[in-house]
Amino acid sequence: MSSNGRPGREPGAHATIEDVARLAGVSRATASRVANNSPKVSPEARAAVTAAVAKLGYVPNRAARSLMTRRSDSIGVVIVEPAGSLFADPFFGRLLVGISEALAARDIQLVLLMAQTAREEERVERYLEAGHVDGAILVGPHGNDPLPGRLERSGVPIVLSGRQLGDGTVSHVDSDNRGGARMAVEHLVRRGRRSIATIHGMLDMSSGIDRRQGYRDALHEAGMTQDPGLEAAGNYHPVTAADALRELLERRPRIDAVFAASDSMAAAAIRVLQESGRRVPEDVAVVGFDDSPVALTTRPELSTVRQPIEVMGREMARLLLHRIEHPGEAPSQVVFATDLVVRESSGGA
Amino acid sequence: MSSNGRPGREPGAHATIEDVARLAGVSRATASRVANNSPKVSPEARAAVTAAVAKLGYVPNRAARSLMTRRSDSIGVVIVEPAGSLFADPFFGRLLVGISEALAARDIQLVLLMAQTAREEERVERYLEAGHVDGAILVGPHGNDPLPGRLERSGVPIVLSGRQLGDGTVSHVDSDNRGGARMAVEHLVRRGRRSIATIHGMLDMSSGIDRRQGYRDALHEAGMTQDPGLEAAGNYHPVTAADALRELLERRPRIDAVFAASDSMAAAAIRVLQESGRRVPEDVAVVGFDDSPVALTTRPELSTVRQPIEVMGREMARLLLHRIEHPGEAPSQVVFATDLVVRESSGGA
DNA sequence: CTGAAAGCGCTAACAA
DNA sequence: TTGTTAGCGCTTTCAG
């Protein structure tokens, strides 16, 4: 019966649109129109095709479709992480959850691409430029990373997590790091703290820069003098944060508050403070950033700044899909507000 | 010049194998043979094609290739996580790193599929059964999850993380959870502890069952009586672990050691013990499992059991690729040894 | 060892 | 509204 002369179809093989068309008594074109929700199909034809699809368990072959449409219906999520420790923080996982939710609703696949070295980053770049995905979300690139600019130039639609440093306008989604940090420090000021230190994050990433700037904003606004001796350099890693804070305590033993640019650094800070004989929050109040799970594991529990990570992931996906469908439009940036979560480490609500 | 009459190629379009063949002065077939490392090509032809490929920056179109080969050159990584908190633990991220390393070496793509609800799990099942990927790695399924069995039955090559409960033999990669737990408890016994409690993990997952069994093994071997009152039920979440341990302390106030089935539960245990006025490790020694980053953030630092997570990820990928290429062979299981990492919480080395 | 030709499953003109 | 036709870019017989 079948046009190729084979009497039957081997088990495990999938029905093609040809099979559907034949069973429904229509042409391949009509079957295809139904599969793609084209409006120009008669109700009868549509019903017949729908029934045939159900009967045969037909699922379109993505490869064949891609070949025609020149779209892969998949996007890349690139995790750029020189240190390899990215997943120690639940941030990326939660972002993936958000992205994946938004994509599932549109039946787009998420291709995960990890680049831990410059060499791998090149591999990823080649992959993206080859057009194997319709666009990409870049997570974690540092300020000096050339990848975003190069992809943008080669016409690969991209969306960044976090504001891009330097020139170039690429779409991005960010949280209001500066405003959040400022809220945190204002809260400490309101609590009567007068010697507020900070352990900042990496300064080649917008989050690091912005959170430190928010700290400075709040001090400035409160009319407190900017003392560089109150700023310690961390890199989001608890060990470096502990060292940085110990040095800071030698320089400025009388501090009465610490704002850390991440919860894991804040947790380390609490331990260092306690080991130095200081009580938290009585002697020194502490506020972190992220509202990660560790915030609930410190004693006292950690006050922190929360960002809507899953929502940000969804928005990144939405922005990218929009960009893919409207290549002409200018890139857009979305910034989400942050919330202060007050717990015991800063004296409680 | 071109066969379709178009004078040139619009910018951004990619060279096809046809372009390569023309420039190299050979047929498409020969160009294809070179691209696929077929041995039956003359050195001259190979050189000419290679040069043309480089000159044109030719990258094969995956969709077209898939259409012919009936392979997608991509695999799915399914993260089954009813609770949604999977990424709070770096385990999954590290596994992804390992998987992705092994795949990158073979130029296979990783399609990430998240299933947080039964509905999403069905969606994922349909996707996998439609043949959109060549196989899948399943991470995190609970013992009662029907997905592995169903995929196996529909002929989708799969590899599980963790031993499968119940019947059915599916390929899997696991760490020696039982042996690791046993080592941990033997270590406590050797340190002279005589009343050793455990906070176990979820008992519908092999890791939960096996770690508890390892605990029991060690007690049995040491000739210590099995006291059900020394076992507290956790679910890997620190809050439940804290509650469980508090109850246990009421039942058995004289315990001198705790083995927790995860580091985050062990960290919670340390805090509960300290808040109850007990010293760690002097009064109560504590050992966790995973050697996750939190192990270094507790005071005292946490003794724990380490598993080679990235290596396990690589092995899962390798196993799956082997299974895809040799569909006839029986499924295989690989178990990795675990190491005890002794730190201060159990009295130090 | 090489080339001509067929066709994977699908969508998109174009006609009807 | 529908069907016919022509490929998308690639691999793979099959002759030579």
| Cα separation, A60 vs A66, whole angstroms | 11
B285 DSSP β-pair partners: B257
Q: Indicate whether B219 and B240 sit together in one domain.
A: yes
B210 — pLDDT class (breaks 50, 70, 90)? very high
Residue from B59, B69, B45 nearest B17 by CA: B59
B84 — pLDDT class (breaks 50, 70, 90)? low
Min Cα distance B84 → chain A (Å) is 8
Give the distance, in angstroms, between the CA of residue A279 and the centroid of all CA atoms in the same chain. Answer: 36
Q: Is residue B109 part of a domain?
A: yes
Q: Indicate whether A210 and A303 sit together in one domain.
A: yes
Q: Is residue B98 part of a domain?
A: yes
**Phi and psi for A81 in degrees, rounded to 5?**
-150, 95
A112: nearest CA partner in chain B: B110
Q: Is residue A236 part of a domain?
A: yes
Whether the pTM exceeds 0.95: the reply is no
Q: Please tell me the predicted confidence (pLDDT) of residue B164.
A: 86
Q: Indicate whether A164 and A267 sit together in one domain.
A: no
Domain's final residue, options B30, B51, B69: B69
| Cα separation, B284 vs B278, whole angstroms | 7
Mutant choice from B70, B114, B156 vs A, greatest count of A C-beta within 10 A: B114
In chain A, the percentage of residues whose pLDDT exceeds 90 is 78
Domain's final residue, options A51, A69, A87: A69
State whether the beta carbon of B195 lies below 7 angstroms from any atom of strand D. Answer: no
- CA atom of A150 to C1′ atom of C14, Å: 40
- Closest CB to A67 among B64, B120, B275: B64
Mean pLDDT of B133-140: 95
Contact A111 B116 (CB under 8 A): no
Q: Indicate whether B154 and B184 sit together in one domain.
A: no
Q: Indicate whether B134 and B232 sit together in one domain.
A: no
Residues in A touching B263 (Cβ below 8 Å): none
A300: containing domain? 177-307+340-346
| Cα separation, A140 vs A142, whole angstroms | 6
State whether the beta carbon of B16 lies below 7 angstroms from any atom of strand D. Answer: yes
| Cα separation, B252 vs B254, whole angstroms | 6
Residue nearest to nucleotide C3 (CA to C1'): B27
The pLDDT tens digits for A191-221 are 999 999 999 999 999 999 999 999 999 999 9
Residues in A touching B96 (Cβ below 8 Å): 87, 112, 114
Say yes or no to pLDDT of A132 above 60: yes
Q: Please tell me the predicted confidence (pLDDT) of residue B85.
A: 64
How many domains are contained in chain B? 3
Q: Indicate whether B299 and B321 sit together in one domain.
A: no
Residues in A touching B64 (Cβ below 8 Å): 63, 67
- CA atom of A27 to C1′ atom of D9, Å: 24
CA angle A174, A179, A183 (to 5 degrees): 140
Please name the residue that has the structure tokens 């320089």. A251
Q: Indicate whether A159 and A82 sit together in one domain.
A: yes
Q: Is residue A212 part of a domain?
A: yes
Q: Is residue A327 part of a domain?
A: yes
Q: Of A138-147, A332-341, B112-121, which one has max mean pLDDT?
A: A332-341
- Closest CB to A104 among B14, B120, B155: B120
B70: nearest CA partner in chain A: A63
Q: Are B341 and B301 in contact (CB under 8 A)?
A: no
Higher pLDDT, B293 or B249: B249
| Cα separation, A182 vs A286, whole angstroms | 14
Contact A90 B94 (CB under 8 A): no
Q: Indicate whether A211 and A130 sit together in one domain.
A: no
Domain's final residue, options B32, B54, B69: B69
Min Cα distance A60 → chain B (Å) is 8
Q: Is residue A333 part of a domain?
A: yes
Mean pLDDT of A127-139: 95
A11 — pLDDT class (breaks 50, 70, 90)? low
Residue type at position B71: R
Min Cα distance A1 → chain B (Å) is 23
Residue type at position B33: R
Q: Indicate whether A116 and A94 sit together in one domain.
A: yes
Q: Is residue A314 part of a domain?
A: yes
Contact A114 B93 (CB under 8 A): no
Give chain B as a 3 state SS string. Answer: CCCCCCCCCCCCCCCCHHHHHHHHCCCHHHHHHHHCCCCCCCHHHHHHHHHHHHHHCCCCCHHHHHHHHCCCCEEEEEEECCCCCHHHCCHHHHHHHHHHHHHHCCCCEEEEEEECCHHHHHHHHHHHHCCCCCCEEEECCCCCCCHHHHHHHCCCCEEEECCCCCCCCCEEEEECHHHHHHHHHHHHHHCCCCCEEEEECCCCCHHHHHHHHHHHHHHHHCCCCCCHHHEEECCCCHHHHHHHHHHHHHHCCCCCEEEECCHHHHHHHHHHHHHCCCCCCCCCEEECCECCHHHHCCCCCCEEEECCHHHHHHHHHHHHHHHHHCCCCCCCEEEECCEEECCHHHCCC
Task: Centre a 10 Å sphere on the Cβ of residue A127 and count the other Cβ atoms it contains.
Answer: 21
Q: Indicate whether A97 and A159 sit together in one domain.
A: yes
Q: Indicate whether A184 and A296 sit together in one domain.
A: yes
Contact A297 B238 (CB under 8 A): yes
CATH number of the domain where residue B38 is located: 1.10.260.40
Quote the tokens at residue B256. Answer: 């001198």
Residue A2 DSSP SS3: coil
Mean pLDDT of B9-38: 87
Residue A37 DSSP SS3: coil
CATH number of the domain where residue B122 is located: 3.40.50.2300
State whether the beta carbon of B187 lies below 7 angstroms from any atom of strand C. Answer: no
With residue A53 as reference, give the H or E element that holds it: helix A43-56
Q: Are A186 and A219 in contact (CB under 8 A)?
A: no
A196 DSSP β-pair partners: A257
Residues in B touching A104 (Cβ below 8 Å): 114, 120, 123
Q: Is residue B1 part of a domain?
A: no
Say yes or no to pLDDT of B3 above 80: no
B141 — pLDDT class (breaks 50, 70, 90)? confident
- CA atom of B4 to C1′ atom of C3, Å: 21
| Cα separation, A266 vs A293, whole angstroms | 12
Q: Please tell me the predicted confidence (pLDDT) of residue A84.
A: 54
Mutant choice from B16, B58, B62 vs A, greatest count of A C-beta within 10 A: B62
Q: Indicate whether A117 and A65 sit together in one domain.
A: no
CA B82, B87, B90, B92 torsion: positive or negative? positive
